[in-house]
Amino acid sequence: MSTTRITAVIWESLAKRFTELTRQVGVSGTALLSRTLAAEMDYLAALPSNDESAEKRARVIEELGNALSETPPKTVRFNITLNRKDAERMNQLCREKRIPRDMFIRSYIVFLLNGDDGCEAPLVKISTILANPRHEYEEKRSLSPKEDQTLYAPDGEVIERKAVCQHNPYNHLHFDDDMLNALERFMQNRTPESK
Protein backbone atom coordinates (compact mmCIF):
# COMPACT_ATOMS: atom_id res chain seq x y z
CA MET A 1 0.00 0.00 0.00
CA SER A 2 1.48 3.28 -1.14
CA THR A 3 1.48 6.20 1.30
CA THR A 4 2.09 9.91 0.99
CA ARG A 5 2.75 12.64 3.49
CA ILE A 6 0.57 15.73 3.55
CA THR A 7 1.01 18.88 5.58
CA ALA A 8 -1.89 20.84 7.03
CA VAL A 9 -1.60 24.22 8.73
CA ILE A 10 -3.66 24.19 11.92
CA TRP A 11 -3.84 26.17 15.13
CA GLU A 12 -0.95 25.50 17.47
CA SER A 13 -3.25 25.10 20.50
CA LEU A 14 -5.27 22.48 18.62
CA ALA A 15 -2.18 20.57 17.52
CA LYS A 16 -0.77 20.63 21.06
CA ARG A 17 -3.97 19.35 22.67
CA PHE A 18 -4.41 16.67 19.99
CA THR A 19 -0.82 15.48 20.49
CA GLU A 20 -1.19 15.44 24.29
CA LEU A 21 -4.37 13.35 24.16
CA THR A 22 -3.09 10.89 21.55
CA ARG A 23 0.07 10.35 23.64
CA GLN A 24 -2.10 9.88 26.73
CA VAL A 25 -4.13 7.26 24.85
CA GLY A 26 -0.90 5.68 23.60
CA VAL A 27 -1.37 6.08 19.86
CA SER A 28 0.37 8.11 17.21
CA GLY A 29 -1.71 11.10 16.13
CA THR A 30 -0.79 10.63 12.50
CA ALA A 31 -1.65 6.91 12.69
CA LEU A 32 -5.05 7.76 14.18
CA LEU A 33 -5.76 10.29 11.44
CA SER A 34 -4.55 7.98 8.69
CA ARG A 35 -6.92 5.25 9.92
CA THR A 36 -9.98 7.41 10.51
CA LEU A 37 -9.92 10.20 7.92
CA ALA A 38 -11.17 7.83 5.20
CA ALA A 39 -14.46 7.32 7.07
CA GLU A 40 -14.78 11.08 7.71
CA MET A 41 -14.47 11.74 4.01
CA ASP A 42 -17.78 9.92 3.50
CA TYR A 43 -19.45 12.76 5.44
CA LEU A 44 -17.59 15.32 3.34
CA ALA A 45 -18.72 13.54 0.17
CA ALA A 46 -22.37 13.86 1.26
CA LEU A 47 -22.04 17.64 1.73
CA PRO A 48 -23.40 19.92 -1.01
CA SER A 49 -20.72 21.87 -2.87
CA ASN A 50 -20.12 25.51 -2.02
CA ASP A 51 -20.38 27.95 -4.87
CA GLU A 52 -17.43 30.24 -5.61
CA SER A 53 -18.82 33.15 -3.60
CA ALA A 54 -19.44 30.95 -0.53
CA GLU A 55 -15.89 29.61 -0.72
CA LYS A 56 -14.49 33.15 -0.90
CA ARG A 57 -16.72 34.32 1.98
CA ALA A 58 -15.55 31.44 4.16
CA ARG A 59 -11.92 32.43 3.58
CA VAL A 60 -12.66 36.11 4.22
CA ILE A 61 -14.57 35.31 7.43
CA GLU A 62 -11.65 33.24 8.70
CA GLU A 63 -9.11 35.95 7.80
CA LEU A 64 -11.33 38.65 9.35
CA GLY A 65 -11.70 36.62 12.55
CA ASN A 66 -7.91 36.32 12.78
CA ALA A 67 -7.44 40.04 12.03
CA LEU A 68 -10.01 41.15 14.65
CA SER A 69 -8.62 38.88 17.34
CA GLU A 70 -6.28 40.60 19.79
CA THR A 71 -4.03 37.58 19.59
CA PRO A 72 -4.58 35.73 16.32
CA PRO A 73 -4.10 31.99 16.79
CA LYS A 74 -0.59 30.77 16.12
CA THR A 75 -0.45 28.09 13.47
CA VAL A 76 1.84 25.11 12.99
CA ARG A 77 2.54 22.72 10.18
CA PHE A 78 0.98 19.34 10.98
CA ASN A 79 2.28 16.32 9.06
CA ILE A 80 -0.01 13.37 8.34
CA THR A 81 0.93 10.17 6.51
CA LEU A 82 -2.03 8.86 4.52
CA ASN A 83 -2.75 6.03 2.15
CA ARG A 84 -2.14 7.63 -1.27
CA LYS A 85 -5.69 6.81 -2.44
CA ASP A 86 -7.17 8.49 0.66
CA ALA A 87 -5.00 11.59 0.19
CA GLU A 88 -6.07 11.84 -3.47
CA ARG A 89 -9.73 11.35 -2.54
CA MET A 90 -9.53 14.05 0.14
CA ASN A 91 -7.91 16.51 -2.27
CA GLN A 92 -10.54 15.76 -4.91
CA LEU A 93 -13.46 16.11 -2.46
CA CYS A 94 -12.11 19.38 -1.06
CA ARG A 95 -11.80 20.77 -4.61
CA GLU A 96 -15.33 19.58 -5.51
CA LYS A 97 -16.89 20.95 -2.33
CA ARG A 98 -14.78 24.13 -2.47
CA ILE A 99 -13.54 23.65 1.07
CA PRO A 100 -9.90 24.28 1.97
CA ARG A 101 -8.31 20.96 2.89
CA ASP A 102 -6.72 22.43 6.02
CA MET A 103 -10.15 23.62 7.16
CA PHE A 104 -11.56 20.10 6.76
CA ILE A 105 -8.67 18.52 8.68
CA ARG A 106 -8.90 21.16 11.40
CA SER A 107 -12.66 20.62 11.72
CA TYR A 108 -12.11 16.88 12.11
CA ILE A 109 -9.50 17.38 14.82
CA VAL A 110 -11.85 19.81 16.63
CA PHE A 111 -14.52 17.07 16.53
CA LEU A 112 -12.10 14.49 17.98
CA LEU A 113 -11.27 16.89 20.82
CA ASN A 114 -14.67 18.49 21.47
CA GLY A 115 -17.32 16.28 19.90
CA ASP A 116 -20.40 17.82 18.34
CA ASP A 117 -24.19 17.60 18.52
CA GLY A 118 -25.09 14.23 19.98
CA CYS A 119 -21.54 12.90 20.08
CA GLU A 120 -19.06 13.06 22.95
CA ALA A 121 -15.48 14.06 22.20
CA PRO A 122 -14.05 10.73 20.98
CA LEU A 123 -10.45 11.30 22.09
CA VAL A 124 -11.51 12.54 25.52
CA LYS A 125 -13.83 9.55 25.96
CA ILE A 126 -11.14 7.07 24.89
CA SER A 127 -8.62 8.75 27.17
CA THR A 128 -11.02 8.47 30.13
CA ILE A 129 -11.75 4.82 29.37
CA LEU A 130 -8.09 3.88 29.00
CA ALA A 131 -7.06 5.77 32.14
CA ASN A 132 -9.52 3.55 34.06
CA PRO A 133 -11.01 0.81 31.85
CA ARG A 134 -13.51 -0.12 34.59
CA HIS A 135 -14.78 3.46 34.97
CA GLU A 136 -18.16 2.68 33.37
CA TYR A 137 -18.46 -0.52 35.41
CA GLU A 138 -17.72 1.38 38.64
CA GLU A 139 -20.25 4.06 37.73
CA LYS A 140 -22.96 1.47 37.02
CA ARG A 141 -22.04 -0.43 40.16
CA SER A 142 -22.37 2.68 42.35
CA LEU A 143 -25.72 3.70 40.79
CA SER A 144 -27.34 0.26 40.61
CA PRO A 145 -29.38 -1.49 43.27
CA LYS A 146 -27.64 -4.20 45.26
CA GLU A 147 -30.26 -6.70 44.08
CA ASP A 148 -32.87 -6.80 41.32
CA GLN A 149 -35.82 -4.47 41.93
CA THR A 150 -39.33 -4.30 40.58
CA LEU A 151 -40.84 -0.83 40.70
CA TYR A 152 -44.46 0.06 40.00
CA ALA A 153 -45.20 3.44 38.46
CA PRO A 154 -48.50 5.24 39.28
CA ASP A 155 -49.77 4.45 35.78
CA GLY A 156 -49.31 0.72 36.46
CA GLU A 157 -46.12 0.38 34.42
CA VAL A 158 -43.69 -2.18 35.81
CA ILE A 159 -40.04 -1.16 35.81
CA GLU A 160 -37.37 -3.79 36.37
CA ARG A 161 -33.99 -2.59 37.66
CA LYS A 162 -31.26 -5.20 37.43
CA ALA A 163 -28.45 -5.27 39.95
CA VAL A 164 -24.87 -4.95 38.79
CA CYS A 165 -22.44 -7.40 40.33
CA GLN A 166 -20.91 -5.81 43.43
CA HIS A 167 -18.00 -8.15 44.08
CA ASN A 168 -14.40 -7.43 43.22
CA PRO A 169 -13.80 -8.44 39.58
CA TYR A 170 -10.62 -10.27 40.66
CA ASN A 171 -12.25 -12.44 43.32
CA HIS A 172 -11.42 -15.48 41.21
CA LEU A 173 -7.73 -14.81 41.90
CA HIS A 174 -8.07 -14.97 45.68
CA PHE A 175 -7.73 -18.49 47.09
CA ASP A 176 -8.79 -18.82 50.71
CA ASP A 177 -8.02 -21.90 52.83
CA ASP A 178 -11.47 -23.44 52.32
CA MET A 179 -11.17 -23.24 48.55
CA LEU A 180 -7.62 -24.62 48.54
CA ASN A 181 -8.64 -27.50 50.81
CA ALA A 182 -11.62 -28.29 48.60
CA LEU A 183 -9.39 -28.29 45.51
CA GLU A 184 -6.88 -30.58 47.22
CA ARG A 185 -9.65 -33.03 48.21
CA PHE A 186 -11.02 -32.93 44.68
CA MET A 187 -7.59 -33.71 43.20
CA GLN A 188 -6.98 -36.55 45.70
CA ASN A 189 -10.40 -38.12 45.08
CA ARG A 190 -10.19 -38.14 41.30
CA THR A 191 -10.59 -41.61 39.91
CA PRO A 192 -8.09 -42.98 37.34
CA GLU A 193 -10.88 -42.89 34.69
CA SER A 194 -11.33 -39.16 35.11
CA LYS A 195 -7.61 -38.47 34.68
Confidence of residue 21 (pLDDT cuts 50, 70, 90): very high
Q: What ranges make up the beta strands (E) of the chain?
A: 3-11, 75-83, 149-152, 158-161
Mean pLDDT of the chain: 83
Which pLDDT value is given to residue 73?
Answer: 78
Q: What pLDDT is attached to residue 110? A: 93
pLDDT in the model for residue 181: 80
Q: Which of 115, 112, 107 is nearest to 8 (CA)?
A: 107
Does the pLDDT at position 76 exceed 90?
A: yes
Over residues 111-148, the pLDDT tens digits come to 999 998 888 899 988 888 887 777 666 766 676 777 77
* 55 or 116, greater pLDDT: 116
Q: What is the pLDDT of residues 155-188, one digit of tens each?
A: 878 877 777 666 666 776 777 777 778 878 888 8
Q: Given this model, what pLDDT does residue 126 score?
A: 87
On whether the pTM is more than 0.95, the answer is no
Helix axes 29-45, 84-97, angle to 10 degrees: 40
Q: Which pLDDT belongs to residue 118?
A: 81
Query: Pick from 68, 76, 88, 80: which is nearest to 34 by CA?
Result: 80
